[in-house]
Homo-oligomer: A and B are copies of this chain.
Amino acid sequence: MKNTDVLIIGGSVAGHTTAVTGKATYPEKDFLLIRKEEKVMVPCGIPYIFGSLESSNQNILPGDAMYEKLGIRYEIGEVTDLYQHKKTCITSDGQEIHYKKLVLATGSLPKVPKFLNRVKYKNVHVIPKDKEYLDDLVDQLNGGKRIAVVGGGFIGVEIADELNKKGNDVTIIEILPHILSLSFDEEFTMEAEQIITDRGVGIMKKTQVKEILGHGDKADGLLLNNGSELKADNIILSMGYHPNTSLAKSVGLKINENGFIEVDEYMRTSDSDIFAVGDSAEKRDFVTRKPTGVMLASTACAEGRTAGLNLFKLCALKTLNGTIAIYSTAIGEHGFGTAGLTEAKANKEGFDIIAGTFSGMDKHPEKLPGTNHQTVKLIVSRDSGVIVGGEVLGGPSVGELINLIGFIIQTKTNVHSLLTAQIGTQPMLTASPNAYPLIKAAEIISEQL
C-alpha cells in the first residue's frame, strides 16, 4: 500500500496543471500523478505534427522536468479500479494507492458512430492523443495521398490544412451547411471556407457519410448520402470526442445528461474529496448556464488551476463560474477567433440580442506592408446591454484579440462602457484608434439599444 495526499489520474493539460498549481499552493503535501503515456502530446499542437512540425517529438508537454524540479512524483501506469470509501486506487500492475484527495483528469476519446465500423479498416483513422498511433499515422500521410477528413470542426480543418501543405489531396466532408459552424456564425464560416478552398482543400458541405467502402482490411472510399462515392487512400474521422468517465461511473459519481462528470465551481465531484478536471469534467455555459460539450486545452487549464487552488481549502475568487468557450484557429496567415455565444446560438437559446459587426484593417494606415482585413462581431443581450459573445477574423493578432473579448464577457461588461473603453493602438500592431473594430462594433450596437 502506497500513500499520497493528492493522487492525479491523467497527465495531459488538466492533470498537469492541477499538479503544478496544487503543489505550488500546498507545497507541504505529497502529489502523485499517474498517466498512461510515456510522452504526453501538447493536445492543440497535434494537427501541426502533420505539416508544420518536423516530428511529434517537437510537440511534447514539458512536464517531467518540471515535476522533478517541483517535487511532484509521477508514474507511468493505469488506474483500473477505485474504492471510494477506502480512498484507494488499484493500478493495472496491482499497486494499491491510498489518497486524501483524488483528481480525475481522464480526458476524452475520439467519437465514432458504430455503424461506420471503422475498426475493420487499417487506413481509417481517428485522432487520439496517443503519440505512437499518431507517429504511425504521420508516416502514412506523408504526401501524395487522397485523404478524406470527415468532420469540419477545428481539428478536422487544422489537420486538413496541414495535410494539404504536405502535398496531399484533401477533402473535408461536413454534415452541416458550413464548416466550423458550431463556433462561428455563417458569415465567418464562409470566409474560412473561401480561404481554405483557395489553399487547395476541398469541402463537401451538407454531406453525410453513409458507409465506409472497402475490400478486406482496406477502405477505398466513402458512400455519401447523395449516393455518390468519394475515393480515398486514407480516411480521417474527426467527429468529436466523448468524455472518458469509466472510473467515475464505476463508483457512481454523478454524471450529467451529456455524459460528463458533474462538478461544482471548485471542480469537486459529488464526492467532495474527488475532483474532476479537463475533457471528462462537466462544463456549464457561462451565459446559458446549460451543460455544454466544449473540450479545449485552455478550459482544461483554467479547471486544473481552479482544482489545484482549492484542493485542501476553498478560496473565493478562485473559482470557475461557467465556461466561456474561447477558441481561435489559424488558416495560413489568417486567424479566426470566437468567444461566448454566436448570434445563431443566442437566438436558438431564446436570447433577445443585437449583433454589430465592423470590418477594418489590423494595421494603420492600411498601406503598411502586411496589413490584413479585420472583422469584429459582438453579440449583446438587448435588455441588459451585456456582451455575451464575439467573433473575430484577421491576422496573427486575432488570438489575443479574442482573449480580450473573452475577458470582456467574463467581466459581464456592458456595451455602453465599451464605448469609452481605453485601448492602445500602434500602426504596425493594431487597427487605428478611430476605427478599432471592437469599439466600432460596440458603437453600432449601442445606436440600436
A binding-site residues for B, Cβ under 8 Å: 13, 16-17, 20-21, 24, 42, 44-45, 47-48, 52-54, 58-61, 296-302, 304-306, 309, 315, 317-320, 323-324, 326-330, 335, 337, 339, 364-365, 367-369, 395-404, 406-408, 410-411, 413-414, 416-417, 419-430, 432-434, 436, 439, 443, 447
Contact = CB atoms under 8 A, between A and B. Distances in A.
B422 A299 contact: yes
A17 B425 CA distance: 15
9 contacts: A45-B368, A47-B427, A48-B427, A52-B368, A59-B367, A329-B426, A399-B424, A400-B400, A407-B408
A423 B327 CA distance: 8
Copy number in the complex reads 2
Which of A61, A395, A419, A428 gathers the greatest number of chain B CB atoms within 10 Å? A428
A305 B420 contact: yes
Q: Kindly list the 3 A-B residue pairs having the minimum CB-CB distance in the complex, ordered from nearest.
A: A399-B429, A326-B424, A330-B428
A339 B302 CA distance: 24
A410 B429 contact: no
Contact of A425 (B365, B399, B411, B417): B399
Contact of A429 (B319, B396, B430): B396
A301 to B, nearest CB: 4
B16 A309 contact: no
B426 A328 contact: yes
Contacts of A414: 317
Contacts of A326: 422-424
A411 B413 CA distance: 9
A219 B126 CA distance: 72
A430 B318 contact: no
Nearest to A25: B447
